A and B are shown apart, each in its own frame.
Chain A
Amino acid sequence: MTRSAGNRFRTRKLSTKQSLAILRENQIDSVDDDAQRHIPQIETGVERQEEIEHHLQAAISAHQAAAVGSKESKKVFIPTPNTTELSAEQYAKLYPKKFQQPFSYIRSSATVEDCCGTSYCMSEEDDKYLAELNAAQAKANLPTITEDEFESLIELYENQIKEMQPYLTLDVNNIIGYDELAASFIADMNDNVRSVSRPIYDYWRGHKIVRTGKSIIPCLKFEQGNEKDEGDPYVCFRRREVRQVRKTRRTDAQSTDKLKKLRQDIETARGLVNDVRQREVMRKNSYKFDMQIFEQRRIVIDLKRKHGIKDSDEDLVNKPQPKRRQAEPAAPPTLRIPIRQDGKPPDADLRHLSTLRAEEEKRRLEKYNQLRKLRPLSKYPLLDVTHDTLGMHMPSATVTTPPPTKYCNVQTFYLPSPPNSAESLPSSPIEESPSENSPQVSIVQASPSKTSQDVPSFRRRVGRGGRILIDRRGRSTPTTPMDIDPVMADRMKYDHDDEDSEAQHHEIMVDPSSALQIKFRARLNTPPPDNHSITLRRQVMAGSPVLIAPGAGSPNAQMRLPNGHPPPGMTQHVIMTPNGVPGVAYPRPPLGPPGR
């Protein structure tokens, strides 16, 4: 007792990973049956109601008996209903021995429908009817039909009615008449069949009505979609419900994308097919032309014969077409670089950027010269610097620091104003500008040049990016009233809303040929102001309280001193306009009035 209890305690559950010794019965002496219980009982897999069935139990116990070594090894079978065999002749009649075994394994995908011919098969009743019909036909000296024709005709009716009246079973008396039913295929029938198709229709119709509209040959019952189907044991082979996928926005988007892609793919395919079509059309045309050529040559031959022309007849044969050969190397889409015949490097034919640029430059020059000839500039002592906008090659074009201004140093470029593309205007400064300053070069400043001109002129242009640029000419700088704080004044310099009030400002008359002006102009070539002044200016512009004591030796003070009056130019931003004409961009406020 203790032993078995101890055993039970130690017994481990049987594991599938555990190594088990394979022993013969004589190798073990005693076995503890208790331990067997630790092996899990596994169900037989037969339904429990059936497990208790008499014959199964008998068979199982017989088997068990054999397994434990009982001597009587009588085989116990579960009885099943008997089967009987047909006679060989009967069988051979139905199944002729005509099969030839192929050497290799059979591969086949033909379906039952493919293999069985006409699906309708004649019954005994049909036989009788057909015999009568044929007899009647023969008597009337009309053609008879074969069984196969009869079957295919019935099948035709069946298929046609299925198509035309799918719900015939609901009211079989509504079955459509012969003319309507046969209309679509009567033309395809051979004469024999047509002659009997009407009586056969009546025969078939009778059957159809007996069958209440169902197929004459009984067929399987499939689900009709109503709930009754569920429990009907004759309804079989239902479609499996497709699991409804939960709809989310993401899946929606995914399917949209899929559809788009599909659409694209199909479009591509369509394009390809279209291309193929075009190719074929062209091919066809080319054959047509070939034929025409051939015909024409025949005429030529005739003509030659007629006129007795004897030559090499080269015009009668196709010459090898060099074009095609050229196209051929391009055909393989490999990236191999072809070896050149002339021994140059493979990229010798490639054009370099530098050469391109040089060419471009040359073209430009030519055009420029051409244009120059057209322009009426030659009568003026002007150097056209249109294309040399940065003044790099211009000795007289200056990039300079501005003359000392009263308060701020603004880096200003004085650039020559180009000649007008129209005939020179009377107001153009070029006309009045004294030519003695420089015999050939006249630098026209965009900013004040003419003091004598009272009326300033403006020109409005639309620049790059739609900016509106105002070119200004002949405007003098208003003087700052002395009683206002100069810093404030400077800040308020452009804060005029009213153009008229500005126009009334006192203008400083400057004589460009005066010594002062000359001196000023001479200063244009001085180097740009140092950083300090710029910083200061920034501070001023930012409105920081920088105290500037007049005459305190600050750069500003110094700058003011030499002139004693404001510099001729306003602070302005020079902007290069697309056509190379320097323009002036005002700070925002004064943008108002359009030129002239």
Chain B
Amino acid sequence: MENNGKPILQMENINKYFPGVHALRGVSFTVLPGEVHALVGENGAGKSTLIKILAGIHHPDSGQIIWNDQPVSFQTPFEAWNSGIATIHQELMVVPQLSVAENIFLGRLPRTSANLIDHKEMYRKAQDILDHLDINLDAHELVGNLPIAMQQMVEIAKALSFDTQLIVMDEPTSALSQHEIDILFDRIKRIREQGKSVIFITHKLDEVFYLADRVTVLRDGSSVGTQDIHELTKDKLVRMMVDRDIRVGTLHAQRKPGKKILEVQNITIDGLFYDISFDLHEGEILGLAGLVGSGRSDVVSALFGIRKIEEGQILVNGKRARFHGPQDAIAAHIGFVPENRKEEGLLMRMSVLENLVMPSTPATSRKGLLNSAVESRIADEFIEKLSIQTPSKWQFIGNLSGGNQQKVILARWLNISPKILIIDEPTRGIDVGARSEIHKLLRSYAEDGVGIIMISSEMEEVLSISDRIVVLRDGRVAASLNSDQATQETIVSYALGVTK
């Protein structure tokens, strides 16, 4: 591979802000013609934001993109495609009811002189592209009948049907079998041989070393650096990905954890997670770490009765729990703060009060009639206790800031006097001040004897408030670590599967 050409793409000093988050901090990044460039980093490092900017989905707040020596600013995904940058997202954008050829030329179907669709031309051209890539596929086939790997090939063929010089793939192997991965990699190498470039996002370091020419590492929205693959080892790459300066143990338990309140024994839901076991004690904060897609959220939704386990059992206070739905988990004093506050947690068009008392209404109401006096008292109490910033308890929850919304959801569960509190991404999209308040709150409830299971993609959060950490990888327990054994490096190594 010759890397002596001028860069085809230069992203310079890109900054992107979301409310409360500085998602990209002056990231610079170049791609050479004819290279496979791997983009790696932990969850939330900024990889997806960066490629979404490149794909015209997000717009940078500052910085510039130079493409083929021209400064560009893509307003829509279509502009990016037309300029020769094709992005293949994790969720494939194919129309299952249409044929392979129709998918490839969707929106730009070849026309006859009478302005009707030129089917003959369309199938011929599509077949050409497929054959050229050595993809053994009939252009007449319906895309819906194809396995995921082949649908992905259709997207690649579509990308190449434009005059594409750069293909961006976001975790393309996450849904593929080993055999299919081999085929995909072979095609990627073929694309490289044609002098085209590929940006490749992955969590699997083996793939990086197998395929990439160069690697760029992102961490906390900054670029740690770009390296030639020959200069790297796996250990070195992991070290680049983790931040070694985290202060650990700022909020650890003051007292010894009490008796076991939750025993998870060999639970399995086929396709999501397998043979998961761990215990939770009174007064303990258990961190659940792992990559997005490692099964973390699926495991906790099973603990809360949202999903039904297929094998194994869950014991609460030594007794086997059979949850038919969240209402049974709530009756067992389990609370659950979901990952996606807006989709799974909030009742946006209802008031702070209504959101706060929702799971406790069966307890507070009498013969099905709401007890507004008690509800008011509860709402006032928690608004004061958690210092929730709201003009009144009757305010629509949608008008509160993310941090205050999260506090309302926390209060919702604290009001059922939880024995177990499950909290998925406690501080996502929340500003720094509210973050530390929520951390302190979790710790103080643990001190009162509540057992807490916390999922977080942020290493700092996991390390600073967990007493114990269970690392999941590909739906299985990869490691169970005490806080004194856990470092960012060990956790990332287990999560990525590069343990020595």
A binds B: no
- Could you list which residues of chain A lie within 8 angstroms of chain B, going by C-beta atoms? none
- Could you list which residues of chain B lie within 8 angstroms of chain A, going by C-beta atoms? none
